[in-house]
């Protein structure tokens, strides 16, 4: 089962052989496998759950222009609230020629 998860994200046999499995670790109490890709001085790591859904629990990058780390939570409630009206900007207000299209 773990190998199927690794294959889906790029271990051997997936067509993405630039990624390799580096063993197991724990992320916030969950067991995970670690997949790594090194390319042009940048190292990317993905920690993928080994139990339940094969979610990426954490990703990190070292080297390059945007190093950093992200921890992801799935199936957890988000306490999102709209900002006060005074903090909201209408990007189309005052524009000529119709709505802003990006």
Token duo for residue 60: 């990190």
- What does the pLDDT read at residue 99? 57
- What does the pLDDT read at residue 92? 77
Kindly give, in sequence order, each residue whose CB lies less than 8 Å from that of residue 20, ignoring residues fewer than 6 positions away. 11, 35, 36, 37
50-65 pLDDT, tens per residue?
A: 999 899 999 999 988 8
**Is the predicted pLDDT of residue 17 greater than 60, yes or no?**
yes
- What does the pLDDT read at residue 5? 47
Query: Where is pLDDT greater, at 4 or 92?
Result: 92
Q: Which of 7-16, 20-29, 45-54, 69-78 has the lowest mean pLDDT?
A: 7-16
Distance CA 81, CA 13 (A): 44
Of 5, 3, 1, nearest to 55 (Cα)? 5
Beta bridge partners of 36: 20, 45
């Amino acid at each position: 089962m773990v190998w199927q998860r690794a294959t889906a994200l790029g271990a051997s046999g997936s067509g993405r052989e630039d990624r390799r499995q580096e063993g197991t670790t724990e992320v916030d109490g969950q067991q995970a496998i670690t997949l790594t890709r090194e390319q042009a001085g940048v190292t990317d790591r993905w920690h993928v759950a080994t139990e339940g859904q094969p979610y990426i629990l954490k990703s990190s990058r070292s080297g390059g222009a945007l190093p950093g780390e992200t921890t992801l939570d799935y199936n957890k409630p988000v306490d999102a609230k709209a900002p006060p009206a005074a903090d909201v900007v209408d990007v189309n207000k005052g524009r000529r020629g119709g709505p802003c299209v990006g």
